[in-house]
Amino acid sequence: YVRQKAYYHFLSNGALLPQSSLSEKISDEEYLTGIITMNQDIARYAIGRATERDVNSVMLSRDLISSILDHLMKYDFRNGHLRRKYDGVKYALKTTETVLYELSVTGADIEKSSGEEHLTKKSKPEDSDEINKLLPEDELEHLRKRMEHRDELREKLIKRCRDGQKAAKQAIYALHRDDIKKASQLISDCEKNILEQLMPIVEEEPTLRYGSYSNVLEEYAEAKLYFAWLLGKSDECNDRSNPVGVLLLPEDFNLIPLQVEDYIGGLCDLTGEIGRYAVKKGTLRDAETVRFCLETDMSIIYALESLSRLPGGNIGKKMEPLRRSIEKLEKMLYELSLVKATGRNVVSEANDGDPGKE
């Protein structure tokens, strides 16, 4: 949309479309994407005008692309989609310069055509009036500052997300080691990190909601889900030898509300932890608990497959590992049934250190 509007504005006025002239609400990234890709259209326009020997139009195209490129060089696009599109502006400028060169060698008077109407490569840097005719300099400078501030917030968010994600992962490891107290403390640390360190940044800049922040929420959801599945919602289960089997619902996350994709992502990852727990119980020949783990995983996949459409993101990629986890648990149950059928007496624990017992 911005690309089409900007190109039409160029054809009508010979200048770059200001962001403020757009009636629709357009984000800074969308506006930059539009004006960057528009340079390809200007380069094609310049080729078309060159066939008519319209040197002035070709030079205007070259000057605008050059001015846009000069402004874009002030940004730090990193390795995002804007960085890849930014390279196209260089090729568009090269195209217009090549066309001008070809016109000059075929007899066109480039110097005479330039006159005072266009900003040429020989213009002095202090000719800011000519630049302002091509670009809305003040608006672009404000946009650049907003982008820089957003980049600073993104860097700060990424660094702080590491602490929250680390705490959630360590909480899961602690649960596998039956260290309930430490797991509970680590989940609290993760919640504190999200509420005090991460949420204020996301509230200031909502576009940072996806990426590192959503990954932390998924990891947090997985830790909370696994904790509740083992011990229940309130950790009041006295018998910790077997899982309670409680699956938290999205509304159970009162302290830190989750979006649908965050909850489902954590739910899919939960099946991996249940699979590891089942392996632990399988080594003790606890077939009933392994069967319970299998039933939990199957109930999750049935619930997800009953949805008319899965959320976006990486949820679709997590379905195949979930199916493989179910297949492994089914195979484990089959092997345990073979052990039982053979009548083998498997000792799962040490005989209290008494060498006389067998």
Output DSSP code: residue 18: P
Average predicted confidence (pLDDT) for the chain: 85
Region of poorest pLDDT, from 114-123, 136-145, 200-209, 246-255: 114-123
Please give the single-letter amino acid code of residue 103.
L
Q: How many residues appear in the chain?
A: 358
* DSSP assigned state of 29: H
What is the pTM assigned to this prediction?
0.74
User: How far is Cα 73 from Cα 61, in angstroms, rounded to an integer?
Assistant: 18
How far is residue 21 from each of residues 6, 16, 38, 273, measured CA to CA in Å? 10, 11, 16, 53
Contact partners, residue 253, CB within 8 Å, separation at least 6: 221, 224, 263
> Helices H, strands E: what count in the chain?
13, 0
Q: What is the pLDDT of residue 309?
A: 84
Are 61 and 96 in contact, with CB atoms under 8 Å apart? yes
State residue 126's pLDDT score: 43
Measure the CA dihedral 317/322/327/333, to 10°: 170
Show the tokens assigned to 236: 């009041």
Q: What is the DSSP secondary structure assignment for residue 255, as one 8-state letter?
A: S
**pLDDT tens digits along 281-324:** 999 899 999 999 999 999 999 999 888 888 776 788 888 889 99
Residue that has been written with the tokens 């090729």 in this structure: 91
| pLDDT classification of 111: cutoffs 50, 70, 90 | low
Looking at residue 310, what is its pLDDT?
80
- At 190, the pLDDT band (50, 70, 90 cuts) reads very high
Q: Confidence band (pLDDT; 50, 70, 90) for 351?
A: very low
Tell me the pLDDT tens digit for each residue of 26-60: 888 899 999 999 999 999 999 999 988 888 999 99
Measured CA to CA in angstroms, residue 58 lies from 12, 50, 164 at distances of 15, 7, 54
Which is nearest to 242 in space by CA: 255, 232, 254, 252? 232
For residue 134, what are its two tokens? 């091509």
When comparing pLDDT for 105 and 192, which is higher? 192
Q: What is the pLDDT of residue 108?
A: 72
Q: Which two tokens stand for residue 162?
A: 């590491």
What is the crossing angle of helices 180-193 and 212-231, to 10°? Answer: 150
By C-alpha distance, which of 306, 151, 220, 262 is closest to 228?
220
DSSP conformational letter for 342: T
